[in-house]
Amino acid sequence: MFTRVVFAEAVKSLKVYFFSSRTLFWALALPLGNGLYLYFLYLPFATKSVDLQFGATTYTIDLVGFTIIGQLLYSFFTMMLLAGASFDAERWQGTLEVLLLSPASRVAILLGGALANAVNYVWMLVALVLSWVAFIHVSIFVTDPLALCGSLLLSYLAMMALGMCLETVDVYSRRGSIFTAWLQEPVMFLSGQIFPLQSLPVSLLPLSYLLPLTFGLMAVRLTLLGGASIYDVRMPLATLASMTLIFFILASLLVNYAERRAKTKATLTQF
Amino acid sequence: MFGRKSTTVIRALDQVDFEIQDGELFGLLGPNGAGKTTTVKILCTLLEPTSGHAFVKGYDVIKDGGHVRKIVNMVAGGERMLYYRLTGRENLKYFADLYDVPKKEVTTRVNNLLELMGLSDRADDEVEKYSKGMRQRLQVCRGLINDPEVLFLDEPTLGLDVNIAKDLRNFIREKVVREQGKTVLLTTHYMYEAEEMCDRVGFLSKGKLVAVGKPEELKRELPSGFSIELLVTRATEETIGSLRQLEPVKKVIVTDYEGEAEGEKIDRLIVNVNSDKAVPQVLSHMANKHCRVVSFNLRGPTLEDLFMFYTGEK
Amino acid sequence: MASHSIRVIASTAKVNLIMTWRFFSWTGFALRFFTPLMTLGAAWILYNVVYARQTLPLGFGAVIGSSGYLSFITVGNAFYVFVFAAAFVVGRVMFWERATGTIEATFMTPMSRLAYMSGIMLAAATNSLIDFAAVFILGLAFGFQIALLNAPLFLSSLLLTAFGLFGIGLITNAITLTFRDRTTTANSLMILFMVFCGLVCPVELMPPWAQLISKALPLTYGVRLMRASLLGIVTVDPMHDIATLLVLDAIYVVIGAITLAQIEKNLRKKALFSIF
């Protein structure tokens, strides 16, 4: 039953949200557009590279690569937030009640929606390839393809699990999508997406370390642009794996709590 | 995955042609999908017909749409059409502005309508906190806010409590039509509602207008004037077939009925006969066929009979 | 007719402000300061920490004169909030009305549709003024300095840009409704303005193809005029920018009004009022 629900929800999410020209367009336009924004943000500073400090090592990363990777992963994170808004869509369509009327596992529903985003993720990687074509002078430096694949996969899994947690807010409250939308800016600021993490005030670093995007950016930038090996990025990879597990468990607990609260407060039909 | 599905053209209305007189309460009846809502939406300028013309008080709904909108309003059952985050009063005031109701009349009119619909106490609560019946009553207020000359009611009692629905029907018939002289087009698939309220009715079936007229006149056109409602057990296909062959019997309709008598399933038969004198013949026929008649009821034709006659549907 | 239109504008603006306030309440008000805080903070870090003010911005000094980088960014940021008003509010209003089931009741009335949309823009712009002020207030903490204040130019830039964005919002509304789109069109518009209007980088420093796109966007001129009015940065004659903005505004509003009428006609013809 669990896998059946996961599959059914994934198929529904794909049919309703993914397989439309505008979703496909957006999945390409978002990282490219935001990447361009970030590139223009750096443009006045007459620089072609960014220094990333990781442990005792300083990696010099191509600026365009830095911005595009940042935007790719950040865009995926944004899409995870918007996927959370699928519960919001259920709410104003009036189908949230009927969804929660069923005996289907709520975690399975969350997981199905999140897995559907895997398709988005792949499509966004296509955007990355197109970006390389557009900026043909970008120098990638991969010495360990396994490290790169691991970085991409674990980034996806960790952000997916976080997305599941955030989606539970939409079950609880009609303001859930507002809350998750507002998360975008602090995540952008704290994750090292705009500027290297070492530039962030030390007092804010603990907040950064709560975000899977922080470690995802670290791992993917270093393995794709900095020639890092799997041993070099073992810490971010291990953190991403742990975060996946923790957020998944948290999502399972939160969704039931959110549902009970929403039913007590009779907020399921509010939009 | 991305290919467009082939488009099937559905003719929602087909050669529909009728007139409603000033001050009349006209009922448009038909099953779901017959085209009732489509008709209403064309007349209140929410839809454009593919061909043909429609006029409201002499104004073309397409060419003079702006003018039509000033003199009509619509109340729909089971739909939102209200701003949930506004209070009842705020909703009405807003629509008063959109309809350009004279400013000095707005407050009085809003208060009167709320009072009329029994919503004064909750007027300043947000609509999302209203019950379904309250929302429907507020919809009626919204439908009358501009004092329309023509009011369209699209299944206005759908989902309402029996007593609320009854009050609403009385209000529309007595207050809106008789007293205020407004013209009302009511759509419904509740036959008793149309029977209770309407001066004239029209039957829509699959987009076609199959009959128009006063209920009494239409009933006279039924092949038979009377119906015997029979509740029987042990009625076989052969029994019903032979019943149809009887001389005074014009039509036999078998309808759903839930119930049993002494462990046997009851069937409900509506038998159209040409005279009330056919009753003994029908009853004895059933007895001869070893059917047990649980009850029978002789009645004159109803709109339901008309409906089934014209549309062939239950 | 004119008095009814004014009434519709005022009434629509009022109910939309009421509904927005009821939905967002104090939490929403407080969170309004969050976004500019993050954006300005990022710019501050970039300038003061990453590049430690060491790297001379490429031609930046020549373009912006003596004004500071952070003042430059603050003004760009402040204008961005108007894009939100146009794209997300005006650009999606009919979609949202359709989704919540009120579109038929509203469009059955004899109100002027343009007046109605103007009321929506007025409400959105009023809300945006809070965000606008928030950016400047927070900007002060990050180093924003007003070099001079040319009030007429300041107000002109604000009003003219809002007007042009209104026209773009009308067009976005048509696209959103036609394609039954929820956020893609509005988000795309946001990115377009964010990237090409010189919000974070002088237009003069952008590649030629990017400058071409920026010429078609009213926000480009609005931001430039506002920087001229507050920071004394004059790279183009302000009167030239005002004239261009007026022309662009007229074009966008006319196209927007035409598409609005067309979209309503289309909704009627194809029975799409109640399908979302």
pLDDT, tens only, A164-181? 888 787 777 776 667 777
pLDDT of residue B125: 95
pLDDT of residue C146: 86
For range B166-183, the mean pLDDT: 92
Q: Is B185 on the interface with C (CB under 8 A)?
A: no
C-alpha to C-alpha distance for C33 and C30, rounded to whole angstroms: 6
User: Can you give the C-alpha Rg of chain C in angstroms?
Assistant: 20
Distance, in angstroms, between A218 CA and closest chain C CA? 17
* pLDDT for A265 beyond 80: no
Q: Is C11 on the interface with B (CB under 8 A)?
A: yes
Report yes or no on A271 lying in a domain: no
Instruction: Tell if the CB–CB gap between A186 and C51 is shorter than 8 Å.
Output: no
Report yes or no on A270 lying in a domain: no
Per CB-CB distance under 8 Å, the chain B contacts of A271 are 84
Minimum Cα–Cα distance from C12: chain B residue: B94
pLDDT of residue B4: 46
* pLDDT for B230 beyond 80: yes
Per CB-CB distance under 8 Å, the chain B contacts of C99 are none
Query: Residue A209: which of A231, A253, A181, A240 has the closest Cα?
Result: A240
Instruction: Tell if the CB–CB gap between C268 and B80 is shorter than 8 Å.
Output: no
* pLDDT for C242 beyond 90: yes
Say which of B1, B84, B128 has its CB closest to residue A19: B1
Min mean pLDDT across B192-201, C170-179, C217-226 is at C170-179
Average per-residue pLDDT for chain A: 81
Residue B47 CB neighbours (<10 A): 25
**Do residues B270 and B305 make contact, with C-beta atoms less than 8 angstroms apart?**
yes
For range C147-164, the mean pLDDT: 89
Q: pLDDT-derived band of residue A159, with 50, 70 and 90 as boundaries?
A: confident
Per CB-CB distance under 8 Å, the chain A contacts of C177 are none
* pLDDT for B118 beyond 50: yes
Higher pLDDT residue, C83 or B99? B99
C-alpha to C-alpha distance for A271 and B130, rounded to whole angstroms: 14
Say which of A29, A41, A189 has its CB closest to residue C38: A189
pLDDT of residue A132: 66
Q: pLDDT-derived band of residue A269, with 50, 70 and 90 as boundaries?
A: low
Report yes or no on A116 lying in a domain: yes
For range B140-167, the mean pLDDT: 89
> Greatest CA separation found in chain A?
59
Q: Where are the alpha helices (DSSP H) in chain B?
A: 36-43, 65-71, 88-98, 103-116, 132-144, 162-170, 191-197, 215-220, 237-245, 279-288, 303-311
Per CB-CB distance under 8 Å, the chain C contacts of A189 are 38, 41-42
For range A151-163, the mean pLDDT: 89
Per CB-CB distance under 8 Å, the chain A contacts of B2 are 19, 21
Q: Is B89 on the interface with C (CB under 8 A)?
A: no
Distance, in angstroms, between A189 CA and closest chain C CA? 6
Per CB-CB distance under 8 Å, the chain C contacts of A89 are 182
Which of A11, A123, A270 to probe by mutation at the B interface, max B CB count within 10 Å? Answer: A270
Instruction: Tell if the CB–CB gap between C184 and A22 is shorter than 8 Å.
Output: yes
Average per-residue pLDDT for chain B: 87
Find chains touching chain A: ≥3 CB pairs under 8 Å.
Answer: B, C
Minimum Cα–Cα distance from B75: chain C residue: C105
Instruction: Tell if the CB–CB gap between A19 and B2 is shorter than 8 Å.
Output: yes
Say which of C23, C106, C108 has its CB closest to residue B44: C108
* pLDDT for C66 beyond 60: no
Query: Residue C186: which of A175, A181, B84 has the closest Cα?
Result: A181
Share of chain C above pLDDT 90, in %: 32
- Host domain of residue A59: 2-265
pLDDT of residue B242: 93
Total structural domains within chain A: 1
Per CB-CB distance under 8 Å, the chain A contacts of B84 are 271
Q: Is B149 on the interface with C (CB under 8 A)?
A: no
Instruction: Tell if the CB–CB gap between B38 and C273 is shorter than 8 Å.
Output: no
Find chains touching chain B: ≥3 CB pairs under 8 Å.
Answer: A, C
ipTM of the complex: 0.85
Report yes or no on A209 lying in a domain: yes
Instruction: Tell if the CB–CB gap between A271 and B2 is shorter than 8 Å.
Output: no
pLDDT of residue A79: 72
Write out pLDDT tens, residues B291-312: 999 998 887 777 777 777 777 6
pLDDT of residue B58: 94
For range B201-226, the mean pLDDT: 82
Q: pLDDT-derived band of residue B23, with 50, 70 and 90 as boundaries?
A: very high
Question: CA torsion sign, B112 to B113 to B118 to B123?
Answer: negative
Distance, in angstroms, between A137 CA and closest chain C CA? 16
**In the structure encoding, which two tokens stand for residue C53, read together?**
């003010």
Per CB-CB distance under 8 Å, the chain C contacts of B149 are none
Say which of A19, A21, A270 has its CB closest to residue B128: A270
Query: Residue B45: which of B18, B20, B67 has the closest Cα?
Result: B67
Instruction: Tell if the CB–CB gap between B126 and C22 is shorter than 8 Å.
Output: yes
* pLDDT for A116 beyond 90: no
* pLDDT for C8 beyond 60: yes
Q: pLDDT-derived band of residue B3, with 50, 70 and 90 as boundaries?
A: very low
Which of B42, B60, B83 to probe by mutation at the C interface, max C CB count within 10 Å? Answer: B83
Write out pLDDT tens, residues A25-57: 777 777 778 878 888 888 887 677 888 888 888
Higher pLDDT residue, C191 or B201? B201
pLDDT of residue C63: 62
Minimum Cα–Cα distance from A34: chain C residue: C191
The residue ranges of every structural domain in chain C are: 2-270
C-alpha to C-alpha distance for A174 and A19, rounded to whole angstroms: 26
Query: Residue A15: which of A113, A102, A88 has the closest Cα?
Result: A113
C-alpha to C-alpha distance for A160 and A73, rounded to whole angstroms: 12
Minimum Cα–Cα distance from A15: chain B residue: B1
Instruction: Tell if the CB–CB gap between C195 and A46 is shorter than 8 Å.
Output: no
* pLDDT for B247 beyond 50: yes
| Residues of chain B that touch chain A, judged by Cβ-Cβ distance less than 8 Å | 1-2, 84, 128
Report yes or no on A19 lying in a domain: yes
Instruction: Return the SS3 of B265.
Output: strand
Q: What is the pTM of this model?
A: 0.77
> Greatest CA separation found in chain B?
75
C-alpha to C-alpha distance for B194 and B188, rounded to whole angstroms: 7
Report yes or no on A33 lying in a domain: yes
Instruction: Tell if the CB–CB gap between C102 and B74 is shorter than 8 Å.
Output: no
Q: pLDDT-derived band of residue B92, with 50, 70 and 90 as boundaries?
A: very high
Minimum Cα–Cα distance from C10: chain B residue: B97
For range C3-14, the mean pLDDT: 95
pLDDT of residue C58: 58
pLDDT of residue B1: 39
One-letter amino acid for residue A240 of the chain: L
Instruction: Tell if the CB–CB gap between A29 and C191 is shorter than 8 Å.
Output: yes
* pLDDT for C161 beyond 80: yes
Minimum Cα–Cα distance from B85: chain A residue: A271
C-alpha to C-alpha distance for C83 and A176, rounded to whole angstroms: 23
Instruction: Return the SS3 of B107.
Output: helix
pLDDT of residue B5: 53
| Alpha carbon B28 to chain centroid, angstroms | 6
For range C174-196, the mean pLDDT: 80
Minimum Cα–Cα distance from B74: chain C residue: C105
**Do residues B300 and B270 make contact, with C-beta atoms less than 8 angstroms apart?**
no
Per CB-CB distance under 8 Å, the chain B contacts of C265 are 48
